[in-house]
Amino acid sequence: MIRVLIVDDHQAVRAGLAMLLDGIDDLAIVGEAGDGREALRLIGETPVDVVLMDVQMPVLDGVEATRRIVEQADGPRVLMLTTFGVDDIVTAALAAGAAGFMLKTASAHELVDAIRRVAAGDAVLAPEVTRTVVDRLRALDSRAVPQSPYPAASGRLAALTDREREVLDSLGLGLSNAEIADRLVISESTAKTHVSRVLGKLGLASRVQGALLARYEAERS
C-alpha cells in the first residue's frame, strides 16, 4: 500500500484529488495539508510514502517544503503538482530534489501511474515540463547555446563509464529501473545500483535531475 499525503492550499483541490484516488487498491490517503509547514508536521506524525505537493502556498511554499523533506533521512518522495507551466518556481522545485513533476491537468491514469513510479524510486517528469525547460535554457543565451541546468554535473560527465552514460541516457527517456534493465539486458537490482552510482558521481539529488540533464545533453548533441 502506497501512503499518500495531499498538500494544497485549496480545500476543493485536496478533495478533488482525494476523490480521484479513492478506490485505487494500492493507494491510501493518509492525510491532507493546506501548506508546507502543516505537511512537515504531518510527515513527522504519520508514515508517508509519496507527497502530492502544490507549488505556491502560504506560510511555507512547496519548494521550501520539498527541500526540507528531501533533506530528511528516509523521508517520503515528493511529486509536484501545479496548474502552472514551467516557470522559475517550478525550476526551483526540481532543483530542490522533487522526485517528479506533473501538471494538474494530468488524467487520473497518468496521476496514479506517476504516484506508483515515484513510490518505486523512479522519476516522473511531464513531457510539457521537460520540453519547456529545455526551450527556456536555450533562450537564456543570446547565441542560442543552451545553458546546462546543472553545470557542475555536466562537468563531471567524463567521469562516467560507457555503461553509466547509457544509464543516464535511459533516465532521459523516462525509463524505470525495470525498463532500464530490459534495455541494457541487466538485472533490475544492477540497474538500480547503476542509477545510484550515476547520480552520486554527478552530484545530483534525484532521478528527475538526471533525466533533465540527460535531455539537455541530448538536445545539445
Is residue 54 domain-resident?
yes
pLDDT for the residue 147 = 56
pLDDT for 93: 75
Q: What is the CATH number of the domain that holds 185?
A: 1.10.10.10
Q: With respect to residue 127, please indicate whether it lies within any of the assigned structural domains.
A: no
Spell out where 26-175 has E strands: 27-33, 50-54, 77-82, 100-103, 124-125
Q: Do 114 and 139 sit in the same domain of this protein?
A: no
Residues 97 and 7 in one domain: yes
Residue 168 lies in a domain: yes
Q: What is the pLDDT at residue 205? A: 74
- Which CATH number characterizes residue 88's domain? 3.40.50.2300
Same domain membership, residue 117 and residue 205 = no
User: Residue 120: what pLDDT?
Assistant: 86
How far apart are the C-alpha atoms of 112 and 169, rounded to whole Å?
Answer: 25
Residue 143 has a pLDDT of: 43
Same domain, 91 and 194: no
Residues 96 and 63 in one domain: yes
In the prediction, which pLDDT does 16 show?
92
pLDDT digit string (tens) for 167-196? 999 988 878 888 899 999 999 999 999 999
Task: State residue 142's pLDDT score.
Answer: 41
- Return the pLDDT at 138: 54
Number of H helices, E strands in the chain: 11, 6
Domain coverage including residue 111: 2-121
Same-domain status, 18 and 110 = yes
Question: Helix 88-95 vs helix 127-139: angle between axes, to the nearest 10 degrees?
Answer: 110
Whether residue 62 sits in one domain with residue 138: no
* Statement to judge: residues 110 and 151 lie in one domain: no
Q: Residue 185, by phi and psi: left (phi above 0), alpha (psi -120 to 50) or beta?
A: left
Task: Mark whether 114 and 144 lie in a shared domain.
Answer: no
Same domain, 33 and 109: yes
Residues of the chain with pLDDT under 50: 140-146
